[in-house]
Structure 1
Amino acid sequence: MSKKVKYYYDTESLAYKKISPKKGRRLGYITLFLVSAALFGFLCFVLLINTPYFETPKDRLQAREIENLKLRYAILNKKMSQLDEVIESIEERDNNLYRVYFNSSPIPNEQRKAGFGGINRYKELEGYNNSELVINTTKRVDMLSKQLAIQSKSLDEILRLAKDKEKLLAAIPAIQPVKNEDLTRVASGFGYRNDPFTKIRKFHYGMDFTAKTGTPIYASGDGVVERADNSLSGYGNLIVIRHGYGYESFYAHLSKFKVRAGQKVKRGDIIGLVGSTGRSEAPHLHYEVHKDGEPINPINFYYGSISAQEYIAISKIANQENQALD
């Protein structure tokens, strides 16, 4: 098909003349077409590479890496769930076993599970395609770290309490100061008794163990001898052992000392011999236990040396309102 020829009417010559296109305009049209085609092609390329239907090798590699990371995060979260169960089990034993045994207050669950208030700690992790996954996992790691830190401190405290408990159990006056085979009888117990000299009913602050003069007397708990003298009126030769934790034990009317003031003693060590010095009616040991400066019933502290049957028998005798020996 031949190219269409255009004409125009010339009024001067009163004739039709052929229109010849200018070369510059034709070049402009060509340039405009080429630019438009190039722009259209670029736009099509941009659209293609941003659609899921067109992936470069690099895109496929990144996609695999992202899926791999998601899988690793899923595995990490599963392991953290297992750690959660283990930590909860440890926390339960800590609160309901260890702390109960050592008479220590449990750590409140609100304190163990408390979050992190104040500033946003995870701001730098925001704005990414998988920000929620990364932020939630990071929060769980931080929470587990905090719980482990709290539990670690708690176990340090339990260890300290255990060491103190061991010392406490060794220090408490827990045995009878005169052996049963050496006793004539338990003459008097803690409470109101008749005074052997005035016959007036008065409070007796210890227990009297009747035994022969020279019978060994044993320290009822670990401690330090605070005094071994006869300067306290009425007690005669007296030994006082300071056990710590507020406990003291008194051993009165001794015939002889086997220790001196300032000396460390262990439970079961011989510290003196039975006598009848001071305000005493007959050879016996007057024994007292004090807690925080106040006399308490010694019969509650014989669990380390006598059987249940012996304890019941001594308790019956000690609770009778008979006459004291001092």
Structure 2
Amino acid sequence: MGKVKYYFDSENLAYRKIKTKISTKFGVAFLFLLSSALFGALSFVILLNTPFFETPKDRLQAREIDNFKLRYAILNKKMDQIDEVLGNVEERDNNLYRVYFNTSAIPEEQRKAGFGGINRYKELEGYDNSELVINTSKRVDVISKELVVQSKSLDEILKLAKEKNKLLAAIPAIQPVKNENLKQVASGFGYRSDPFTKARKFHAGMDFSAKTGTPIYATGDGVVERADNTASGYGNHIVLRHGFGYETLYGHLSKYKCRAGQHVKRGDIIGYVGSTGRSEAPHLHYEVHKNDEVVNPLNFYYGNISAAEYVVISKLANQENQSLD
């Protein structure tokens, strides 16, 4: 029960009881309730912004953030593994594939180049975990670029491999006359005695002595450039254009088994031994040209003779005897 309050009535010289109006009581009660509500709301806001009080939503968001951090950690670990595998592929690409196909390596700065210029990650800034997200995004972009570079490189290697197969098939790599059909290697590449003038003269090919009609084989894949007798001294002869700078010439034939423009494979019979043109006896005069220069055919017989046979042929071919043309 509240205290009763009085005031002194000076006119009547007496104490009179103070009576509170009902409206005043309601006003005081309202102010009290309002102040209590404001104080409670303020206290609630303060509590929400302190680390000692978490709502269910806060706890859910905290778990989601931890889950995202874990996922980013796993993603970065996987990118470490991808980096390692990609590094091995790049090393083999530069030091094995490109060396084999005789092409220049891709510079490291080209493979590992970043992304200069504008800030590509501006929209990721300003968050609590921005650094983690930005660094991961950069790694993904760099690895993606490395993969693009490596993919293009492997496409280039594949193209080179196909060209390499064509090159290996085109190189004149066998003897034009089989050993079992040979009488002998009559003369080799270099200076020899001319059979007609007896003067020392440069012999641009090798002479294979064999019976007239002995088969002559294409020594590499190619196209018949010519099969005629219009070149001085060679009589009936064939020129094969192999590509990659290689050409071969087969002279003094008795007859042809190909025509100009025809595609031939290594080992195909293209003609037969004879003694047409400037020739002293039945034989095949065989030349190899690389980039329009004559080269020693002896260096190209690795496709169908053994090491021992090569030694014998080499000794015969290197003797400074008389050529047959």
- Compute the TM-score of the two structures, normalised by the length of structure 2: 0.90
Aligned residue in 1 for 2:58 = 59
Following superposition, the deviation at residue 4 of structure 1 comes to 8.4
Aligned counterpart, 1:118: 117
Question: Are residue 241 (structure 1) and residue 232 (structure 2) matched?
Answer: no
* Amino acid in structure 1 at the alignment position of 2:318: N
Q: Where in structure 2 are the equivalents of 1:48-197 lying within 5 Å?
A: 48-197=47-196
Unaligned runs of 5+ in 1: none
Counterpart of 2:131 in structure 1: which amino acid?
E
Letter in 2 for 1:308: A
Report the Cα distance in structure 2 between the residues aligned to 1:221 and 1:50, rounded to whole angstroms. Answer: 85
Give the residue type in structure 2 aligned to 1:130.
Answer: N
Q: What is residue 261 of structure 2 aligned with on the other side?
A: 262
* 1:224 alignment partner, SS class: strand
Separation in structure 1 between the aligned mates of residue 7 and residue 29 of structure 2, nearest angstrom: 20
Amino acid at match of 1:111: Q
Give the CA deviation at 1:278: 0.7
In structure 1, the residue corresponding to 2:289 is in which secondary structure? strand
Structure-2 residue corresponding to 1:316: 315
What's the TM-score once normalised by structure 1's chain length? 0.89
- The 5 Å alignment of 1:35-54 reads 38-54=37-53
Please name the residue that 2:280 is paired with: 281
Residues 99-156 of structure 1 deviation map (CA, whole Å, 9 limit, x = unaligned): 2222222212221111111111111111111111111111111111111111111111
**Number of the residue aligned with 1:223:** 222
After TM superposition, give the deviation of residue 57 of structure 1 in Å.
0.8
Deviation of 1:43 (Å): 3.0
What's 2:324 paired with? Answer: 325
**Aligned counterparts of 2:128 and 2:198: Cα–Cα separation in 1:** 95
- How far apart are 1:320 and its partner, in Å? 2.1
- Paired residue secondary structure (1:227): strand
Q: Give the Å deviation of 1:46.
A: 1.8
Q: Secondary structure at the match of 2:131?
A: helix
1:243 alignment partner, SS class:
strand
Equivalent pairs counted in the alignment come to 321
Secondary structure, counterpart of 2:255 in structure 1: strand
Over aligned residues, Cα RMSD in angstroms?
2.6
Distance 2:150 2:282 in 1: 57
Counterpart of 1:180, as a letter, is N
How big is the shift at 1:281? 1.3
Taking the aligned partners of 1:38 and 1:94, their CA distance within structure 2 comes to 74
Counterpart Cα distance in 2 of 1:256 and 1:240: 14
Distance 1:46 1:270 in 2: 99
Q: Counterpart of 1:280 in structure 2: which amino acid?
A: S
Distance 1:6 1:160 in 2: 114
Q: Which amino acid aligns with 2:146?
A: Q
Structure 2 CA distance for aligned equivalents of residues 46 and 91 of structure 1: 58
In structure 2, what residue type is equivalent to 1:305? N
Task: Give the 3-state SS of the residue equivalent to 1:63 in structure 2.
Answer: helix
TM superposition shift of 1:261: 0.8
